[in-house]
Amino acid sequence: MAISIKKPLEIEKLRVSNSYVAKTLNHLRTYIRPGMTLKQINEMGEDFIASLDARPAFKGLYGFPAGVCTSLNEVIIHGIPSDEVIKEGDILGLDIGVEKDGWYGDAAITLPIGKISDDDQALIDCSYDALMHAISVIKTGMRFKELSLELETFILDRGFVPLKGFCGHGIGKKPHEEPEIPNYLEGKNPKQGPKIKNGMVFCLEPMICQKSGVATIDEKDKWSVRSEDGFRGSHYEHTVAVINNKAEILSVE
């Protein structure tokens, strides 16, 4: 399937839905405290999205039961909100999608809960810094495989490894479109595959593991993704549009 090119007016519609994602994440960042349950956090996020006259895009998507992915500590992505209570020293990934007028937004952050260890801060910093580095090097004519290699090299240079089997993606009138954008180079040649063009809109989302990038999926809930190493992970995501030959972040207020 071809990678779609969005018209300027379509990008503006995507900018709205993505700004709602950013508003929701910032709202949660402000009010999350130790002692809250993951379900309470999800309800807060869903209620805030509703107050914007928008829809939590993840709720019901592929059968996911909530509007906010709440990925606590060792859960790197796709954590299901539960009655588990967050506490000082935890790290919490929040991944949110919003649909507004048929257009989708998507972004994620990993939050420190109170004071966290230096090691956990370095883990969070790696996912955020890898994301911002990748966005900064995007230019038209670059291949998506080259972008994946940039992400992988940055993550490895920080002493971490990317989660395997999961990736960034295109976005538009569907929450997931072509292309798939892994955080690591698949194959050996980064000079292969589709090139980045003006009008493309996609999500980049570094998912960081400590020792092993091999993923395991929770046998009970069938969603929560961890590393086989059992250590904590982190995740950051932005939606970007390629405008005037470079990437512009849409998932900001």
**pLDDT at residue 178 above 90?**
yes
- 2 within some domain: no
Mean pLDDT of the chain: 98
Cα first-last separation, the chain: 32
**From CA 10, how far away is CA 57, in angstroms rounded?**
18
Domain count for the chain: 1
The per-residue pLDDT for range 47-82, each reduced to its tens digit, is: 999 999 999 999 999 999 999 999 999 999 999 999
CATH code of the domain containing 137:
3.90.230.10
- 16 located within any domain: yes
Residue 190 and residue 146 in contact, taking contact as beta carbons nearer than 8 Å: yes
Q: Which spans in the chain are helix H? A: 8-31, 38-51, 118-137, 144-157
Report whether pLDDT(1) > 90: no
Reduce the DSSP state of residue 153 to 3 states and report it: helix
Residue 21's domain comprises: 8-249
Find the mean pLDDT for residues 178-201: 97
What would the mean pLDDT of 186-214 be, rounded to a whole number?
Answer: 97
Domain assignment of residue 1, yes or no: no
What per-residue string of b and e applies to 44-61 under the rule 16 or more CB within 10 Å gives b? bbbebbeebebbbbbbee
246: which 2 tokens?
A: 């470079």
The answer to the question of residue 3 being in a domain is no
At 163, give phi and psi (nearest 5°): -70, 135
Q: Is residue 75 domain-resident?
A: yes
Find the helix or strand (DSSP H, E) in which 98 lies: strand 91-100
- Cβ neighbour number for residue 202 with a 10 Å cutoff: 26
Tokens for 45?
Answer: 């996020």
User: Does residue 158 lie within any of the structural domains?
Assistant: yes
Instruction: State mean pLDDT over 125-148.
Output: 98
Average pLDDT of the segment spanning 135-139 = 98
Alpha-carbon gap, residue 102 to 18, rounded angstroms: 12
Write down the pLDDT at residue 161. 98
